[in-house]
Amino acid sequence: MIIGGSRSKSIAEDLSKLLKMPLIDLVSKRFPDGELYLRIPEEIKGHRIVVIQTAYPDESIIELLLILNAAREANADNITAVIPYMGYARQDRKFNEGEPISAKAIARIISIDADDVVTIDPHKEYISDFFGIPCKVSSAIPLIADYLKDKNIDMVLAPDKGALKRAEVAADILKCEVDYLEKTRIDGITIEVTPKKLDVNGKNIAIVDDIISTGGTIASSIEELKRQGAEKAIAACIHGVFAGNAIEKIRNAGCDEIVTTDTIPNPFSKVKVAPLLAEMLKGK
């Protein structure tokens, strides 16, 4: 049986159809003080339960924990937490003394009531180890590359060296060139892209990253590309967070199209991850 949290309802519906597994509709409401109440209105004792909920923003994490606990308290046989987007994953280590390893903290509380986890493109693959229970990771980059196939892409660009591996996977599928930019993060919202001569004049470029958050990384990359004469710049990512005025920032930089998956529902969720999740769940 499948239970979809409020942030991942449409993925839950897609998965229920693909896997031919019944979808349970949660009963939920807010208490007067804003706290969440929920109930699984069906008998799930002894069943294998798949709970789908993106771990972003904070209230979605609380909802995920409550659903997992409700399933545990109802004596489900096996509980899989499907987390399309794992929030807090960018604080995956202590950058300064006194900081938490936020990704580890969130992973640990999810593990209390889940038996195993399935997630897509966590910011770093080693985050899967933080759960302490089996965690299956897969990448939606091939799905993004499939979407880009009819866009006449000449080059895939990684906005920084860390994103190069993902860009190479996409370039391989699109059979095109690949390159990367040198990015320096000054603070949470300020990005500096070191000018680097790229062979982009008159070309169609897809910038591929795992996350677009403030849009600073993608906007600076597009500005650099357009400055060097790129014809078209498509911003492609797995997880579209789009914090604050990210969309406006990216558009003002001259972006021709934005595409993301539906791990975080947003106006550019053109690529569905349910087929990938269905394959991951079948193999379990």
Under the rule (CB under 6 A), what is the footprint of ligand R5P? Answer: 90, 159, 162-163, 191, 209-217
3-state SS assignment for residue 13: helix
4 or 216: CB nearest ligand R5P: 216
CB of 242 to ligand R5P, least distance (A): 8
CB of 40 to ligand R5P, least distance (A): 34
Closest to 139 in 3D by CA, of 154, 124, 121: 121
> CA 169: distance to chain centroid?
17
CB of 243 to ligand R5P, least distance (A): 7
> Which residue's entry shows tokens 């399935």?
118
> Which residue's entry shows tokens 């690949």?
178
Closest to 242 in 3D by CA, of 268, 224, 270, 220: 268
Give one DSSP letter per residue of 47-112, joined into a string: -EEEEE--B-SHHHHHHHHHHHHHHHHTT-SEEEEEESSBTTTT--S-SSTT---HHHHHHHHHHH
Give catalytic residues, as residue numbers.
Answer: 183
CB of 147 to ligand R5P, least distance (A): 19
153 or 211: CB nearest ligand R5P: 211
36 or 243: CB nearest ligand R5P: 243
84 or 216: CB nearest ligand R5P: 216
